[in-house]
Every structure is written in structure tokens, then in C-alpha cells.
Amino acid sequence: MRVLRTGVSSVAPHPHSEPAWLDTIMKGDCVAALNKLPSKSVDMVFADPPYNLQLGGDLHRPDQSKVDACDDHWDQFESFEAYDAFTRAWLLSVRRVMKDDASLYVIGSYHNIFRVGAILQDLGFWIMNDIVWLKSNPMPNFRGKRFTNAHETIIWAVKSKDAKPTFNYDALKTFNDDLQMRSDWHLPLCTGSERLKDDNGDKVHPTQKPESLLYRVLTASSNPGDVVLDPFFGTGTTGAVAKKLGRHFVGVEREQTYIDAATARIEAIEFGQGAGLEMQKGKRAEPRIPFGNLLESGMIEPGTELTSANGKHLAIVRADGSLKSGSFTGSIHKVGAMVQGQTSCNGWTYWHIKRGRKTSPIDDLRQEIRSRLRA
Amino acid sequence: MRVLRTGVSSVAPHPHSEPAWLDTIMKGDCVAALNKLPSKSVDMVFADPPYNLQLGGDLHRPDQSKVDACDDHWDQFESFEAYDAFTRAWLLSVRRVMKDDASLYVIGSYHNIFRVGAILQDLGFWIMNDIVWLKSNPMPNFRGKRFTNAHETIIWAVKSKDAKPTFNYDALKTFNDDLQMRSDWHLPLCTGSERLKDDNGDKVHPTQKPESLLYRVLTASSNPGDVVLDPFFGTGTTGAVAKKLGRHFVGVEREQTYIDAATARIEAIEFGQGAGLEMQKGKRAEPRIPFGNLLESGMIEPGTELTSANGKHLAIVRADGSLKSGSFTGSIHKVGAMVQGQTSCNGWTYWHIKRGRKTSPIDDLRQEIRSRLRA
DNA sequence: GGATCACGTGAATCTGAGG
DNA sequence: TCCTCAGATTCACGTGATC
């Protein structure tokens, strides 16, 4: 097995003992190569498996005029069966090396993606989303017999229903001009200077994916320092973007031509690091401040009156940090829920306090404490 | 079996002896009902089968209102095996009644579409395209745990590789401003007055499809006078659009409530009244370019410094498209507002980037991406 | 009467830390 | 592993009331 070592490790050494396969391309068959990795060792997988476009040839028989539906069915079963076996094998290998909360992204077209998706489900993977990559510049349908095939499908799956994968929701929302990122991604094809060409000017790989696609996948489901596996490495788009974004990679590839192109490509990239890689964090990342802290710190006195935003509900703050509203007592959340007759409530944003002439949510006080803590 | 006869036949009599089932809704199980149709008797099929959604508990919006989920009994299956068996059964029944060159459209989501697609292939169907219906107004992801599920997938398949289905290429191209119709269709959900409501104002069917979707399907793959089958008729969108466009329909439906609603709906339509209408187009607004696109496309590197026009304020671009300026972080718009102490700001014109000796607003970069997309 | 705003709602596999 | 409970979380668009 040939192994590529890029300069990555010297730039960003793994904190502990760095495994030999990190930031390398393993040459060989996908299943055989993955067997050399420890189980539960990667944080994310991006897979661009063969689409099996030649499948059509298998279906075409020379004496097709005599083929009846039953024989036709048999032919297809045979060749789909082979693709399914291949798919099950690599998915099982990938599954073994995935950490329990790792994310798997698989891209494909209508030729193969339905089989991949069904097998994923059969193997116990849990689908989080399917995503459509809409190509702004697809190849037209020359014969005018179908719709222009203008998209590919990406399946985001995890190992089980209970997995808690990385999902940088706030980062993606900020990325998308403060709107939730949707399941449709409008991105151009890989063309121009990004497309790797050989000495003859021919494209090195027939289906090189654009870096923008990997950028979005890695931003969504990985963190700096994570290990990203690509079992069909090709010309190394996954590795290139991983290195740019400060992630480690490991690739598997059978063709030496692709390995050579990918190696040169990745070596020319600088490992990303620094403040530029920090991502927007949500409220959950902030330290938890119990409501009692507002009393301890003197920001609120026992006996203070809180109101709902519309002023309809009143509550008194008691010395232990509980509220009393009529016959209801309990935490800010519980009392907020009870006065509204609901099952849950975010007391921080529901209850308001009068400060001077203005009324503001007690969440503002929490923010003041948090900024004090940071200082 | 209850049979609905609409007024269609009197308006557009079938040339030969018109079968009793034409322009009717057959009540009952899909397979049993289809057994009563002659083989090779329909020109097109549109199928909207149960999606096999697997919902956890209740889901509430941030304002505490409860999402009215699709939890109907007909959408519940015990296992993937059960769903697969159901799918194989109805697809085989449909296959028998399809003419050799008939088109089959099946719509689904990631819960079921991969299984449907794989089974289609296993049964010998030939996939022509997969089409994505991009919803302009999907339900958001309220908990921020996934991408907004903003699309559904439609598979267009025929009975065999050799089938020559109807495809009204030129009509579609004309509809699409002289561009080939692509595999991504941007259409809004079925809402407003089009959505059927009962006396309580509740929706009659949880998953009524928009007529615009059927309009496009029927225009693409059928001709006036053709017979269109919908084995999961629901509230009859397929029948309604078929009648408007001068196609005959035949539907199968188990629930009397849906049959009643569909009957009334279709009877109110005049045969062929919509045939001269121009097809509903998706909005072709200028594509929205989120700031993150500038990073994925490599136009801006993480760590780049942006300034306000007067140079007073600086900010660092981070990999996720967020800015960091002092202790402020967020989108270009939010940070622009914060550094100025204002409530809102157009980050595109506020922030500037140095390119060579010149400093220009980042909006210039956005324009470059737009022109690239147009090219 | 036109503009504005509050409100409702859509095929959804929708929490997680701590005890 | 289970239970408890703090507390985080939404976009587009149509309708109808109000100004």
C-alpha cells in the first residue's frame, strides 16, 4: 500500500500519537484498505462512489425483440445485484471505522442513489436529510428526450437513530445570510482553473466535484481537527478542502493517476488554522447561568415583580430563585409554562423586568453576567 | 366498489366504446381495484404513495403552537420490509395496466423514495429522470438540527429501456422561456384557496399536492385525450388537472372522505378549460447569493480583513461566513449593524475588501458570482 | 380604500445535560 | 440507562382585521 504523507502533520501535529494513516491516501481496494483502519476512528465520511452508469449496457440484449418481461427482470436483477453487493460491502467497512456520532455523506445520481439509500436504511443507518446539489451550469440534454439532468443527490446519514452528529447550525445560518440552510444547494460545476487537467489538457478525473460542495459539507458536519474519510478519493477534493479548513483527512483510491494528481494538489495547500476557522456558535455553547445567580449577584432583589411581555401575567421573585404567580410556584420556566397553560416555556425570554422606564426580558440580565464572566 | 362518474364523458366522448371506469374514482385497495382494469389501458400514471414517515413525539414551533403532522393510519408501516412489500405490490399492479410506452411518475421524500426507486429498478422499470420539487415555502426546521427539508423527489420511469414515452419537449421549452426544462422545479406548496378545507376549516387531506406540479407533469408526459391513472387519488389533484387539460383520468382511493371531496372538486371543473392556459412557471427571480458563497467559491479566504468605507471599522472573515469584529460576531449584516450601534445594516455595501490598490464593496464580488452563474 | 400588521400554517423521521 | 427539567428554536406566504 502506497501512502502519501503531506506536510500537514508538521504544521498541525496531532495532540497524542498521530496514526500513520492520518493525512494520507491509501492505495487499494476500498474494503481492503479500510480494514487497516481502527474501528470508530473517523468523525466524518464523504463518499462519491461509482455511479454505475454502464449499467445500461448490461440491460441491452442483442435479441431484445424476443425478450419478455421476466427475462428482462432477471438480467437487471443480476447486474443490480452486483452493484448492491459492492455497495453493501463498502458501506459496512465505512460503518466500522465511523465514530458512533460520525456523519456520512454519499453523493449519487438516479442511476445509483436509490439503491445506495435503500441499502443505507437496510444496514441500520439513519437518514438525516437528502440534499440536492443543483448545478447552475449542467450539461444540456442533447436529444431533447428528457429533462435536463441538472442535479445530483446527497444523502446525509448517521449510524443509528440515536446518533448525535455534529451540525453547525448557527454557522450555516450565518453563512446563509441569517436564514436556515436548506436542503437545496445551488452550486456551479467544477470547471475552469479548479478542474485538474493533464498534459494534454484533458480532464484528469471524469467527475471531479467542486470544492464549494465539500466546503459546505465539511462546514456543516465537522469541526477543525476532525478526521474526514473519503473512500473514493479520486483527485482529492475532499482532502484539499479538509486541509484548507483545518481538518485531517484519510483517503482510499485505486488508480495511481488519481493518487498522483491528488498528492500534488494537496501538497500545494496550506493547512488552515487560526481565527479564520472559528465558527459561529449558538446559545447552547454559552455557559449556563442559573436564575439564582441574578439574585446572588444583586441584579434582582427578592420580591421583585416580573411580567410577561404583554403584561398579562405577573410573578414575584423569591429569595431561592423560584417564582410565585398566583398559586403557581416553581422555576422561571415552569411558572411561565403554567400561567400560559403550556407544557414548556423559556423563562429567560418570557419574563420581563422593569428597569427605569423600559421593560426588558431577564435574558438581558443573563447576557450582562455572561459578558462579565468573559471579561 | 363505488364509482364516480363525472360529466367528462359527455363533453369529450371516447372515440370507441368508452369503458365504465373512465373518469371515475374506484373505491378500495389499490391492488384490488387495479385488477379490474384491463392491462395496457392507461397512458400515464402519477402516484403519490404513503411516505412512511416515522415521527417521534409531537413537534412544536418556537411559539409553542403544535405542528399538525401527517400521522394518519394509512401512512404507518411496521417495517421497511412491510413498506417494500406494499410498494412492490402496487407497482406490479400499475405496471400491468400501463401501456408499453406509458410514463410513471412517483413522488416521495427521503423516507421512502430510495426504496421506491430501487424497487422500480428491480421490477424492470427504466428511470428517465429524477426530478426535484423545490418548495419555495417549506416548513422550517424548528429545532435547528437538520437542513430545512425543502424538497421532494419525483421519479419519472417507463416500463422498459426500450419504451418511447410521450415527452413534449418543445412545449416545455417554450414554457421555460426557450430554455430546456430542467430536473429542478421551483413551485410553492398547495396553500390558500387551492387547499381543500372541511367545515371546521381544517385541511381535508394532510398532503394535498399543488395543481402546478400536476400541470407540469401532465404537460410533459401526456397528450389531450390520454388516460391518466392515479392509484393514490386523495383529494383528486391529478383528476382535477387532467380534466382541466382535457385528459381522462381514473383514480383509486380508500377513504370515503377524500373521495367525496375529490368528486365535488372535479365536478366543478369544465373539461379542457385549462388547456389553453400557459403553464405555471416557477419564479425566476435573480438568484440569492449568500455571503458564504464567496468563501466556498474561493473568492474570499478565511481570515481576510474587511473594512468599512471610511476605514474606521475592521472585521475578520471566518470560514463559515461570519465576521468577527472585536467581541462582535455574526453575519455581515449583523456585525455591520453592531459596530455602528444600529439595528440593521446592509453588509454587502457596508463592508469593503482590498483588491490590489483598490478598495471595493463586497457587493462587487457578489455581482461577479451572479454573472458567472448566468454564463 | 389602500397600506400595514398580526396571525396561522405547511409530508417533520426536530434537545440534551446532568443526576 | 433512565428520568428530570432547563431552555433553545422558524420561513414564506396567504388571509383577514385594522388603520
| Residues A2 and A259 sit within 8 Å (Cβ to Cβ) | yes
The mean pLDDT value for B262-280 works out to: 84
Give the pLDDT score at B329.
96
Give the residues across from B132 on adjacent strands.
B153, B184
Residues of A in contact with B142 (CB under 8 A): none
Per-residue pLDDT at B152 exceeds 50: yes
3-state secondary structure of A56: helix
Q: How far away is chain A from the Cα of B262, in angstroms, using its nearest Cα?
A: 30
Largest CA distance in chain A: 91
Once rounded to an integer, what is the mean pLDDT over residues B303-332? Answer: 97
* Mean local confidence (pLDDT), B313-322: 97
Whole-number percent of chain A with pLDDT over 70:
89
Q: pLDDT confidence of B281, banded at 50, 70, 90?
A: low
Residues 70-129 of B with CB under 7 A from strand C: 70, 75, 109-111
Nearest to A350 by CA among A332, A373, A368: A332
Helix (H) or strand (E) segment spanning residue A154: strand A151-158
Highest-confidence segment of B14-18, B242-246, B279-283: B242-246
CB distance B256 to B205 below 8 Å: no
**Contact check, Cβ <8 Å, B151/A144:** no
pLDDT reading at B282 higher than 70: no
Angle at A287 between CA A283 and CA A288, to 5 degrees: 90
B365 CA: distance to closest CA in chain A (Å): 15
Q: For residue B275, is pLDDT > 90?
A: no
For residue range B197-232, what is the model confidence (pLDDT) as tens digits?
A: 999 999 999 999 999 999 999 999 999 999 999 999
Min mean pLDDT across A342-356, B30-44, B154-168 is at A342-356
Alpha helices in chain B (DSSP H): 8-11, 30-34, 80-97, 113-122, 169-175, 211-221, 237-244, 256-267, 292-296, 332-340, 347-350, 363-374
B53 CB neighbours strand C below 7 A = yes
* Among chain A residues, CA nearest to B163: A145
Residue whose C-alpha is closest to residue B256's, from B205, B305, B220, B193: B205
Burial of B137 (0-12, 13-18, 19+ CB in 10 A): exposed
Comparing A134 with A70, which gets the higher pLDDT? A134
Question: How confident is the prediction for chain A on average, in pLDDT?
Answer: 90
Lowest-pLDDT range of A58-67, A333-342, B62-71: A58-67
Rounded Cα–Cα distance for residues B92 and A211 (Å): 42
Bridge partners (DSSP) of residue B60 are: B66
The predicted pLDDT at position A53 comes to: 66
Label residue B177 left, alpha or beta by phi (over 0 means left) and psi (-120 to 50 means alpha). left
> Three cell numbers at B235?
383529494
Residue written as cell 426580558? A361
SS3 at position A111: coil
Say whether residue B140 is in contact with chain A using an 8 A CB cutoff.
yes
Contacts of A114 in chain B (CB under 8 A): 113-118, 120-121, 155
Q: Which of A17-21, A62-66, B52-56, B151-155 has the highest mean pLDDT?
A: B151-155
Query: What would the mean pLDDT of A108-114 be, rounded to a whole number?
Result: 97
Long-range contacts of B13-19 (CB under 8 A, 24+ apart): B14/B248
Least confident of A53-67, A113-127, B147-161: A53-67
Dist CA A345 CA A340 (whole Å) = 9
Whether residues B182 and A117 touch (CB distance < 8 A) is answered with no
Residues A127-179: tens digit of each pLDDT:
999 999 999 999 999 899 999 999 999 999 999 999 999 999 999 999 999 99
Give tens-digit pLDDT for A205-257: 999 999 999 999 999 999 999 999 999 999 999 999 999 999 999 999 999 99
Task: Report the SS3 class of residue B169.
Answer: helix
Instruction: Work out whether strand A323-325 and strand A328-330 pair parallel, antiparallel, or are unpaired.
Output: antiparallel
Picking from B114, B123, B141, the nearest residue to A121 by CB comes out as B114
Non-local (6+) Cβ contacts of A195 within 8 A are A203, A208
Mean local confidence (pLDDT), A184-205: 96
For the CA atoms of B230, B235, B237, B242, the dihedral, rounded to the nearest 10 degrees, stands at 60
Q: What is the DSSP string of A11-27?
A: HS--SSPPPTTTTEEEE
Cα–Cα dist A265/B277, whole Å: 54
d(CA B287, CA B53): 32
Q: Three-class SS of residue B108?
A: strand
**Mean pLDDT along residues B53-69:** 95
Task: Please report the residues numbered 282 through 321 in chain A whose beta carbons come closer than 8 angstroms to any beta carbon of chain B.
Answer: 282
Q: Out of A173, A184, A272, whose CB is closest to B150?
A: A184
Banded pLDDT at B273 (limits 50, 70, 90): confident
Residues A260-272: pLDDT tens digits?
A: 999 999 999 999 9
Nucleic strand C under 7 Å from the C-beta of B140? yes
- Residues in chain A within 8 Å Cβ distance of B63: none
- Does the pLDDT at position A374 exceed 90? no
pLDDT band at A310 (very low <50, low <70, confident <90, very high): confident
> What share of chain A in percent tops pLDDT 90?
84
**What is the three-state SS of B219-273?**
HHHCCCCCEEEECCCCCCHHHHHHHHCCCEEEEEECCHHHHHHHHHHHHCCCCCC
Helical (H) or strand (E) element with A9: helix A8-11
Chain-chain contact of A153 with B153 (C-beta, under 8 angstroms) = yes
Q: Which residues from chain A sit within 8 angstroms of residue B329, using beta carbons? A: 280
Name B residues 182-201 whose Cβ lies under 7 Å from strand C. Answer: 189-191, 195, 201
Which pLDDT value is given to residue A16? 62
Partners of residue A176 in chain B, C-beta under 8 Å: 290, 292, 321
Residue of B nearest to A178 (CA): B331
Q: Furthest-apart CA pair in chain B: how many Å? A: 83
Residue type, A206: P
pTM score, two decimals? Answer: 0.93
Joined grid coordinates for residue A165: 452528529
Residue A71's pLDDT band (cuts 50, 70, 90): very low
Question: Taking CB atoms and an 8 Å limit, are A177 and B333 in contact across chains?
Answer: yes
- B368–A contact, CB cutoff 8 A: no
Query: Tell me, what's the pLDDT at B1?
Result: 42
* pLDDT, chain B, mean: 93
What does the buried/exposed string (b/e) look like for B63-83 if buried means 16 or more CB atoms within 10 Å of the residue's CB? eeeeeeeeeeeebebeeeeeb
B207-CA/D17-C1' distance, Å: 29
Q: Over 80: is that where the pLDDT of B287 sits? A: no
- Of A180, A243, A196, A234, nearest to A215 by C-alpha is A243
pLDDT at residue number A312: 87
Q: Are A51 and A115 in contact (CB under 8 A)?
A: no
Reading the block at residue A211, the C-alpha cell is 470544492
Give the pLDDT band (50/70/90) at residue B277: low
- Quick one: cell of B136? 419555495
pLDDT in tens, B63-101: 999 999 999 999 999 999 999 999 999 999 999 999 999
pLDDT digits (tens, 9 = 90+) for B167-179: 999 989 988 888 9
Task: Please give the Cα distance from A168 to A43 (Å, whole number).
Answer: 14
